[in-house]
Structures are given as structure tokens and as C-alpha cells.
Amino acid sequence: MKDLALDIRVEKTQNSRLSEVDFNNIPFGKIMADHMFVADYSDGKWHDLRVVPYGDFQLGPATSSLHYGQAIFEGLKGFRNAQNPSEVLVFRPQENAKRLNVSAERICMPQISEEIFMQGLHALLEIDRDWVPDTEDSSLYIRPFMFATDNFLGMRPSETYTFAIITAPAGKYYSKALKVKVEKEFSRTAPGGTGVAKVAGNYAASLLPAKLAAEQGYDQLLYTDAKEHKYIEESGTMNVMFDIDGTFVTAPTVPVEDTILRSITRLTVIELLQDMGKKVEERHISVEEVISSIKNGKLRGAFGIGTAVTIAPFATIAEDGVDYDLPTDYTFSLELKAKFQGIQKGELEDTKGWTYKI
Ligand SMILES: *Cc1c(COP(=O)(O)O)cnc(C)c1O
């Protein structure tokens, strides 16, 4: 990859904020690292690749992404290599590059080459590597994103775009097991919609149901299919897995269903489970099956899966105002999480080439 080095201009900050950060107490998403990678798109090409000090964009009031929502993002993490702390390990970034392009295609944005994505990421983390925390349960959260920049109110795909990568040191995410509510009124997407894409608008749509659920004491939602509200799809920003009598069941993604975001953490978990000799089923799972398996004791555990949380065990699943508590002695999800994070941090051998070294 480095043989095909792209021309990336680098402008380093004169005022690093690194020494002001308390790495033992990091509020999520508030403190950004010193630099960002930026590329602009016009006349059908990406150009002006650059690593520059983190700072504001200048946008006109008619900037089309602010009106019509052509905006997509990704989320991934970098860790200090436990074997060699001067090295950063980024987890499966090529998968995020691919998924960004799936999202781009769905809302008529241009593709960005894997070279630009990867070399931009590489150049950025080479400069900001000291921002990768080494405290326990922490990481550098990496946020690539793309948005439309035409200063034009006409309703059509923008002709200009900006792609950028910013990063933020992150501490522990959810700490306790979650109370989740089966959502039957609101949908985050529908067949033929944009659920398969990491599109900004999807998250806007999920804010109100999440807020209402929080008022009722729930940490997260379990979205159901938009048509019948009968089958479990996923949680707000996590895919979901159920351990039913030792079989791990998770809802199918594309090409079977286009309503579920194809989580890279989930792909990884499926492979880890299969390597451990566990049975995994990607199939539709109804709310009724989940509730009845809680009642008859077959549901050993359930958990959310996504980059932010890695694996987040559920304590309670609520349906129609009734809370069903899950077994409290289920430890497997935490074992799986430890294994997953061990690979991410270089503590366990990465036999699959999942980690990218910088
Ligand atoms: C980002 C996201 C996930 C998790 O995907 P990962 O690649 O594992 O981080 C799951 N569901 C939704 C809706 C998401 O936006």
C-alpha cells in the first residue's frame, strides 16, 4: 500500500492540546485529537488530500447536506499494541472503507478509494499516535465521514463533497448490563429504506424513540421489523445476538434484509464463535421466540454488538410494558468481549490479519 503513496499535504499544529487531556477521565466524543484528515471532491475527483490541525469547516447556509441529509459516517477504533506500545493497531479499517462506499452509493454520493481512506487514516494516526490512550478499557475512536457541500437549494445529488477523518480518545462505554425495550411503534428504517447505510438521517429518526424509552428507564431499544413489529432487527447502534441453549442467533443482514446495518463487530463475533465451535444462526428471530425462551429458561443471555461497546450484555428485555429479566449468572458475553479486545490490543494473536498496524 505504501508503494502507491498518495500526495498528502501535512500541516502540523503549533498548539498541541495533548498535555491538557486527563486520560484517566475521558468524556466520550468531546475531546478531539490535534489533527484531521480532509479531502475534497469536485469535477468527479477527490483532491487536496491533507492532514491539518483539527478545526472548523466553512460552510454556506445553503450547504446541501444541512438541508437534504447527504451525510454518512463510519466508526472504528485504534489501540496501543500491547506487544509494542509505540505502535497503533486499528481494527479492520478496510471493512469500514467498504461499508462507507455502500452507504455512499445508497444516497448518491461518490465512492472513495480504499487507498485514500487507508492512506489518509495512516497519515493522520502517524501524527496523532500519542492520542491513543493506554489506560484500561480505552481506545482512540476514529470517525470518518462524508458530506455534501454544494451551496445550492435545488433538490438533486450534490456535485461537491468533503471527506474527513477526526479522532477522539475514548474511555469505557456502557458499564452495566442494559435494560432494553422492544420497540413496536417507531421504526428506524423499512425494507427499501436506508437501514443498510450509515446515513446521518437514520440516527435523527431514532432520537425520539430512544428519548421516550429513556424516560421509561430503558437504556436502549430493540427495533422490530417495520411491517409487523414481530421480528427483532437490531438496537440503536448495535446489532444483537441471543444465546438460546448454546446456539447464537442473530438477525440476517444483506442480502436477506436491507434494514439492518451490517456490523463489522458482528462479523467478527460470528467468526470467533464459529472458531470456538459454537453454533451460529443468522435468521429471523421473533419477539415471541425471545420472550418464550426467557420464560422457559432457554435464553442464557443476550447482548448488543458494535464498535462503541464491543459487546454489551442485556440485563432486561421489556415487551409491552413487562420487564423480563435475563439470567444474572451469564458470563460468556464478557469472556467473548475479553477475547475480542485481546485481539484488538495485540494481547492475543491475530491469526486473521484483522489488525492494521501504524
Ligand atoms: C454502526 C452501527 C452498528 C455497529 O456496527 P460496527 O461496525 O460493529 O461498529 C450497528 N447498528 C447500527 C445501526 C450502526 O449504526
Task: Name the pTM for this structure.
Answer: 0.96
Q: How many CB atoms lie within 10 A of CB 217?
A: 11
243 Cβ contact partners less than 8 Å away, ≥ 6 residues apart: 249, 299, 300, 301, 302, 330, 332, 333
pLDDT at 1: 47
| Neighbouring-strand partners of residue 232 | 224
Distance 3 CA to ligand 1 centre (A): 32
Pocket-forming residues, ligand 1, beta carbon under 6 Å: 75, 198, 234, 237-239, 261, 263-266, 306-307
Q: Which atom of ligand 1 is nearest to the CA of 266?
A: 8
Q: Which atom of ligand 1 is nearest to the CA of 76?
A: 9
Distance 262 CA to ligand 1 centre (A): 7
Which three three-digit cell numbers place residue 71?
451525510
The three-class DSSP label of residue 249 is strand
The Cα 254–Cα 268 span in angstroms is 16
Q: How many helices (H) and strands (E) does the chain have?
A: 7, 18
For atom 13 of ligand 1, the residue with the nearest CA is: 237
Helix or strand run (H / E) with residue 13: none
Contact between 103 and 145 (Cβ < 8 Å): no
The Cα 295–Cα 285 span in angstroms is 16
pLDDT at 174: 59
Q: Name the residue of 94, 106, 238 whose CB sits within 8 Å of the most ligand 1 atoms, as the mutation to test its pocket.
A: 238
Q: Name the CATH superfamily housing domain 178-327.
A: D-amino Acid Aminotransferase, subunit A, domain 2 (3.20.10.10)
Distance 264 CA to ligand 1 centre (A): 7
CATH architecture, range 9-172+346-357: 2-Layer Sandwich (3.30)
Q: Which residues of the chain have pLDDT under 70?
A: 1-4, 173-174
Boundaries of every domain in the chain: 9-172+346-357, 178-327
For atom 2 of ligand 1, the residue with the nearest CA is: 237
Distance 283 CA to ligand 1 centre (A): 18
Distance 11 CA to ligand 1 centre (A): 32
